[in-house]
Amino acid sequence: MRLNIKKTDDQTICDGIEQGGLGRRHYENILYEKYAYMIKDGVWKHKLSEDESSIAYSDTILSVIENIAKRQFEHRSVLKTYIFQIFSNKCVDFIRKKTTKKSAVYQTDTINEYIQQLPDDMHNAIQQLILENETVRIRKALKKIGEKCYQLVIQWSEGYSDKEVAEMMEFSSAEVVKTSRKRCLNKVKELIGGL
């Protein structure tokens, strides 16, 4: 189904999301596509990579959809302004996370430096234990990201293209799949770091 983004006004989008049902996804996709140009704003204004800006935008749209569905969006501003403010905040949060992670990286030694100090016969055993531990952590994280994210990551890991996944999982476009997948993979990375 082709989205008629230009002719769909904000009130119609909000009404479609609030009503729920089968048509809700259609209006969610229209909302996503209508303001997707903000991704380039995130790259230009906040100096994020395109991937980072896409993730911030996806998170923004998910928050906006949730707020509309719960009728927490009070229409005190136009929808574009509301989305832009949330998106700007998400971009700033992304910058803060990057800055914090960079400073932490410079303060730590790598595990490989410690492994190199061990006798040769212990290298393989230690590396095998590390690999097994990482595998367990990844499995735990995959169980926590939600069914839709899980299916998205699994299909990607099995070699399906974004276009194929969009058709199988009823996303509006391959670009939406790409952005959603990146967001899901970031969730996995965050969970692995927190496990």
Can you give the CATH number for the domain in which 94 is found?
1.10.1740
Same domain, 24 and 100: yes
Element at 145 (helix H, strand E): none
pLDDT, greater one: 139 or 112: 139
Measured distance CA(60)–CA(72) in Å, rounded:
15
Same domain, 97 and 127: no
Lowest mean pLDDT among 79-83, 143-147, 163-167: 143-147
Q: For the purposes of burial, counting CB atoms within 10 Å of the CB of 8, is it exposed (0-12), middle (13-18) or buried (19 or more)?
A: middle
Same domain, 118 and 103: no
pLDDT band at 1 (very low <50, low <70, confident <90, very high): very low
Same domain, 144 and 48: no
What mean pLDDT do residues 145-156 have? 85
Last residue of a domain, one of 85, 108, 131: 108
Same domain, 102 and 118: no
- Indicate whether this model's pTM tops 0.85: no
Same domain, 190 and 124: yes
Residue 8's domain comprises 1-108
pLDDT band at 144 (very low <50, low <70, confident <90, very high): confident
Model pLDDT for residues 103-128, shown as the tens digit of each residue: 454 444 556 666 666 666 666 677 67
Please report the pLDDT score of residue 114 as a whole number. Answer: 61
Same domain, 31 and 55: yes
* 29 has pLDDT over 70: yes
What is the token pair recorded at 163? 């276009």
